[in-house]
Amino acid sequence: MQPIHELETPSVLIDLDRMERNIAAMQTRCDDAGVKFRPHIKTHKIPQIAKMQLEAGAVGIACQKVSEAQVFAEAGIHDLMIPYNVVGAAKTRKLADLAYYTRLIASLDSEHTLKGYSAAAQNMEIVLRVVIELATEMQRAGASVSDALRLAEIIDQDDHLHFGGLLIYPSMPAARPVLQEALDGLHRRGIGVDIVSGGGIGASHHLKDVPELTEIRVGTYVFNDWTTVDNGYATLDECAMTVRSTVVSAPTYNRVILDCGSKTLSSEVHNGAYGFIMEYPQARIYKLNEEHAYVDISACDEKRPEIGEIVQVVPVHTCVVTNLHDTLYGVRGDQVESTFAVAARGKVW
């Protein structure tokens, strides 16, 4: 145990009481809706935290990349989903290798990816479980319903692939017609569906509106951030991650500088803000350099941040902050209770 005030700034703190409450609350939300929960570990990248999520009732985890999944498999977690197109022979070889000793599901949205999975599974002499990602209004990856049905037929005929079902992100109620059309098409073709996997913190608030889902992947909820709060998906009291920072300059009456720049908070911005200062809700972090946060304090009342003062910043996007740091400090009260090494930091291939 170490008192928090002995930590250097900037340091990333995780309020353990809040994180534990977040883990329990999401599991309850999913249990109440009768939907299995598969936390997305991209938010914390820390096997100890994934184990807490599994102990709370999660059925497995989702990892965005193969290298991330390898870290968690080595830590003993063996129910893994990769909701991502894994493309290229070197990566699919690693994917098949992982699938050899874990229960793994990978997603695809094209014939190119499908062929890569099939070849890798054949080389490894395994049957790889795959799901097809459907396109949503987000217009990111994902197949149209007609392409998904064509891909499902090919998978169904492939000796080295098992058709596991459908994947969608975000699984908001607006995506329901697409899901229904795809499920109907699969049913008419006689192709069985094991899982329908949805995702997103926003979608987790609408589970009962999308009854087709059998499971959901959410990551951000474990720490929450300024974006989830501002979007109405969490409250400030549910923000477990804060960046402890020092006021290092007060060059003008209306501007102070904090020691947390883009190398600490990332460059992500939400509605013109790069973070939210807990002690000064009226202050606005309006710009970042690598090691400087520019704070407009013109809207603050008489009490204003002073040089040497320490403040807690809620980052805009927790998942990218994790990936910038070697260590997150688990705190309770005024003590550092756990030191979490970010084991999958930088595992982005």
User: What residues line the site for ligand PLP (CB under 6 A)?
Assistant: 40, 83, 169, 199-201, 217-220
- Residue with Cβ nearer ligand PLP (37 or 169): 169
How is residue 117 written in tokens? Answer: 């999975």
- Residue with Cβ nearer ligand PLP (232 or 308): 232
Please, what is the minimum distance in Å from the beta carbon of residue 92 to ligand PLP?
19
- Residue with Cβ nearer ligand PLP (233 or 280): 233
- Residue with Cβ nearer ligand PLP (172 or 311): 172
Please, what is the minimum distance in Å from the beta carbon of residue 283 to ligand PLP?
26
- The answer to whether 341 and 46 are in contact (CB under 8 A) is yes
- Residue with Cβ nearer ligand PLP (164 or 199): 199
- The answer to whether 318 and 219 are in contact (CB under 8 A) is no
How is residue 188 written in tokens? Answer: 């008419």
Please, what is the minimum distance in Å from the beta carbon of residue 263 to ligand PLP?
22
How is residue 56 written in tokens? Answer: 């709370």
* Cα→Cα distances 2→8, 13, 80, 145, 336, Å: 12, 13, 35, 55, 5
Q: Which residue is nearest to ligand PLP (CB)?
A: 199
Q: How far apart are alpha carbons 152 and 162 in whole angstroms?
A: 10
Of 5, 92, 90, 103, the C-alpha closest to 61 is 103
Please, what is the minimum distance in Å from the beta carbon of residue 81 to ligand PLP?
9
- Residue with Cβ nearer ligand PLP (295 or 321): 321
- Residue with Cβ nearer ligand PLP (142 or 261): 142
Please, what is the minimum distance in Å from the beta carbon of residue 158 to ligand PLP?
23
Of 104, 120, 216, the C-alpha closest to 164 is 104
Residue 143 DSSP one-character state: B
- Residue with Cβ nearer ligand PLP (12 or 247): 12
Please, what is the minimum distance in Å from the beta carbon of residue 202 to ligand PLP?
7
Please, what is the minimum distance in Å from the beta carbon of residue 106 to ligand PLP?
12
- Residue with Cβ nearer ligand PLP (60 or 200): 200
> How buried is residue 263: exposed, middle or buried, by Cβ count under 10 Å (0-12/13-18/19+)?
middle
User: Crossing angle of helices 89-101/111-124, nearest 10°?
Assistant: 50
Q: How far apart are alpha carbons 95 and 85 in whole angstroms?
A: 11
* Cα→Cα distances 7→88, 97, 339, Å: 43, 41, 11
Of 111, 112, 173, 108, the C-alpha closest to 137 is 173
Please, what is the minimum distance in Å from the beta carbon of residue 212 to ligand PLP?
16
> How buried is residue 292: exposed, middle or buried, by Cβ count under 10 Å (0-12/13-18/19+)?
middle
- The answer to whether 58 and 238 are in contact (CB under 8 A) is no
> How buried is residue 334: exposed, middle or buried, by Cβ count under 10 Å (0-12/13-18/19+)?
exposed
Please, what is the minimum distance in Å from the beta carbon of residue 4 to ligand PLP?
27
